[in-house]
Amino acid sequence: MRKTLPSLAAFAVALACSGTLLAESADKVAAAQKSTPTQLVDALNGVFGKHPARAVHAKGIVLEGTFTPSDTAKAISKAPHLQDTSVPVTVRFSAFAGIPTVSDTDGLASPRGLAVKFHLAGGATTDIVAHSFNGFPSATADDFRDLLIALSQSGPDAAKPTPLETYLGTHPAAKNFLTAPKPAPISYATLPFFGVNTFKFTNAANTATYGRYQFLPVAGEHYLSDAETAKQAPDYLGNEIQERVKHGPVKFKLVLQIADAGDKLDDPSVTWPKQRKTVELGTLEVTKTVADNDAAQKQLMFLPSSVPAGIETADPMIDARSAAYPISFGRRQ
């Protein structure tokens, strides 16, 4: 049986107890017409508490490797890392919660994160940020802020119906995100990861394609049962991936799921059907851990809006996320 997140009530209680609730900040955010980058980070802190780490996906491990484009990639985009030459990459695997000490066996550790920084010629970079659930709880940055506020205000002493229960009653995508099974993996190497936002890709002939990224594990998808998960150490995934890369590269196929006519391009809470066409963009090979993980964690920032010519953002949430990440980065320096 696959491991799932706690019930909604237990999930809200766990989040409320995981850090100091910033009630004043949450009230201020709730009163705003539109969420600002600072308000988004404040809302995350309101759920998980303040600490000298990322506001979300706080616990992680940094590795290095290469990305080799496929023969079909250049037909999709003229972006430099999708042409003929392999490029070095920095990779970060992470747990979901904004809690640096969250156990890898905790339901709050899912969905897991994968962020990839491609190092291009001349010192330029481009990033992909993905997680291990095909979907997102909110259609817009404002909706996501409202969900976070509802979570932070739905602790064990909250009156019924709690703000979270009220919110989920009118936001089925958020309810599905919180309650869908998210089993603990055997390894970061045995999870698929999904870029839930849409990008526009343009090739040398100026032909445009809209799509969403997926990282598919070459080792296949493999998960633990509840009983097996309970026996694992709190840092089993970080330890396992460090050991695994000593014996050979961890590989993922980077594919692009292509939008069909009528597919929502600007709403990450709407998952496209599995039957949509996919095109292989290349192979990610993770080969070694960095020498100093703590230092790398502090220095790294991934911006999904950091794209080269040949790729453009097609979902406003990409820019909202990229504006919030530097706020979190500044707070952990």
Confidence band, pLDDT 50/70/90 cuts, at residue 34 = confident
Strand, coil or helix: 153 = coil
Given 51, 57, 119, 171, the catalytic residue: 57
**Tens digit of pLDDT for each residue in 254-272?**
999 999 999 999 999 999 9
**Tens digit of pLDDT for each residue in 221-249?**
999 999 999 999 999 999 999 999 999 99
- The count of C-alpha atoms lying within 13 angstroms of the C-alpha of 209, restricted to the half-sphere facing its C-beta, is 23
**Tens digit of pLDDT for each residue in 83-113?**
999 999 999 999 999 999 999 999 999 999 9
d(CA 319, CA 303): 9
Strand, coil or helix: 37 = helix
- φ and ψ at residue 130, rounded to 5 degrees: -140, 165
Q: Is the Cβ–Cβ distance between 215 and 190 less than 8 Å?
A: no
- DSSP alpha helix (H) spans, the chain: 8-17, 23-31, 37-48, 141-152, 163-169, 172-179, 226-230, 236-245, 293-299, 316-331
d(CA 51, CA 44): 11
d(CA 112, CA 191): 9
Confidence band, pLDDT 50/70/90 cuts, at residue 333 = confident
From residue 154, alpha-carbon distances to 16, 47, 144, 256, 332 in Å are 7, 10, 16, 38, 27
Percent of the chain with pLDDT strictly greater than 70: 90
d(CA 236, CA 103): 9
pLDDT of residue 35: 79
pLDDT of 301 over the 60 cut: yes
Instruction: Please give the average per-residue pLDDT across 33-57, as a whole number.
Output: 90
pLDDT of residue 21: 32
Instruction: Please give the average per-residue pLDDT across 152-160, as a whole number.
Output: 92
Q: Which residue has the tokens 């850090």?
A: 19
Query: How many other β-carbons are positioned within 10 Å of the β-carbon of residue 157?
Result: 8
Q: Is the Cβ–Cβ distance between 129 and 302 less than 8 Å?
A: yes
d(CA 67, CA 284): 5
> Which pTM does this prediction carry?
0.90
Q: Is the Cβ–Cβ distance between 240 and 185 less than 8 Å?
A: no
Q: Which helix (H) or strand (E) is 184 found in, with range?
A: none
pLDDT of residue 28: 36
| DSSP single-letter state for residue 274 | T
Active site residue 171: no
pLDDT of residue 266: 96
Token reading at 116: 């990839």
Q: Domains in the chain, start-ordered, CATH in brackets?
A: 8-331 (2.40.180.10)
pLDDT of residue 24: 36
Q: Is 279 exposed, middle or buried (0-12, 13-18, 19+ CB in 10 A)?
A: middle
**Tens digit of pLDDT for each residue in 173-217?**
999 999 999 999 999 999 999 999 999 999 999 999 999 999 999
CA 270 to chain centre: 16
pLDDT of 7 over the 50 cut: no
pLDDT of residue 319: 94
Q: Indicate the average pLDDT of the chain.
A: 90
Q: Is the Cβ–Cβ distance between 271 and 66 less than 8 Å?
A: no
pLDDT of 11 over the 80 cut: no
Provide the β-strand partners of residue 125.
119
Q: Is 213 exposed, middle or buried (0-12, 13-18, 19+ CB in 10 A)?
A: buried
